[in-house]
Amino acid sequence: MRDTNESYRIHHADCLEINAVEPESLFDLIYLEPEASISSEELAVRVSSLLPHLTEEGFLLLHADVERAHAYKSILDVFGLPFKGDVIWCYRQRAVKTKALQNHRDTILVYSANPHYYPKRHLLAQPLVGPSSAERVGLSGQKPMELYKRLFRFFERYHRIATVLDPMMGSGSALVAALEQGRTVTGFDTSLEACRITENRLRLAIPASQQLVMELE
Ligand SMILES: C[S@@+](CC[C@H](N)C(=O)[O-])C[C@H]1O[C@@H](n2cnc3c(N)ncnc32)[C@H](O)[C@@H]1O
């Protein structure tokens, strides 16, 4: 399955196939959130096929939960792309009464050769997709669109983010968020269900992105 439109392209494929299906494409931002079960070797080989598709001053964001952030960092470091710190996403939903320390956060590792972006750590508080949220599509691991919108807006301060690649898109929230902001998006997923859900969401999001373009004109 390959679904194309001027604003988005979706591939029902392993992102390892990127050189075959998107040989010429370059992306200003690659956002990658692997499944917890991915091995170090599987991640390394995919990152190595994705990196040639990153623009010179673009950003690679690697999303990891608390347990995997350190392992992912050591895998990525061997590729030589400068490590530029991280964004800590804090997602606690409700006030917790216990006095125990809480661990409701993920780490988004930032890699970039962008000379204007210096290594730093940012905290970003954004609730999870609520159980009764209209945004929920029923796929586990779905992240909130607002998280992605804020991330893309933030990185755009340092480099124009016209094109976004999510090589393991799942629910497609990152792509829908980027499309609604007027960016061109490309996604991969090995799950047909994820591709169908994402394609449907992108199709519905198109009017919003066109409205944005019209407002700017
Ligand atoms: C953790 S989920 C992504 C969640 C997503 N960020 C969201 O907000 O919904 C990882 C996705 O990667 C897909 N996947 C796993 N291995 C893949 C591969 N080699 N190439 C492309 N997609 C893959 C899975 O089917 C799953 O949908």
Residue located nearest, by CA, to atom 2 of ligand 1: 170
Question: Residue 46 burial by CB count (10 A; 0-12/13-18/19+): exposed, middle or buried?
Answer: buried
Closest CA to 36 of 74, 15, 59, 66: 66
Domain range enclosing 111: 2-216
How many domains, the chain?
Answer: 1
The one-character DSSP state at 138 is S
CA quadruple 46, 19, 183, 167: dihedral positive or negative? negative
**Residues 128 and 91: beta-carbon distance below 8 Å:** yes
What does the alpha-carbon distance between residue 110 and residue 138 come to, in Å, rounded to a whole number? Answer: 28
Atom number in ligand 1 closest to CA 14? 20
Which residue among 30, 37, 168 is best mutated to probe the pocket of ligand 1, counting the most ligand atoms within 8 A of its Cβ? 168
What is the DSSP annotation of 14-51?
Answer: -GGGHHHHSTT--EEEEEE---TT--HHHHHHHHHHHG
Q: How far is CA 117 from CA 26, 79, 111, in A?
A: 20, 19, 10
- The count of other CB atoms within 10 Å of the CB of residue 106 is 20
Check pocket membership of 89 for ligand 1, CB cut-off 6 A: no
Please report where in the chains the tokens 């124009």 appear, as a residue.
160
Check pocket membership of 15 for ligand 1, CB cut-off 6 A: yes
CATH number of 174's domain: 3.40.50.150
Residue located nearest, by CA, to atom 22 of ligand 1: 189
What does the alpha-carbon distance between residue 7 and residue 102 come to, in Å, rounded to a whole number? Answer: 40
pLDDT per residue, tens digit, the chain (217 aa), is: 556 668 999 999 999 999 999 999 999 999 999 999 999 999 999 999 999 999 999 999 999 998 999 999 999 999 999 999 999 999 976 666 777 777 799 999 999 999 999 999 999 999 999 999 999 999 999 999 999 999 999 999 999 999 999 999 999 999 999 999 999 999 999 999 999 999 999 999 986 666 665 555 5
Closest CA to 1 of 193, 173, 176: 193
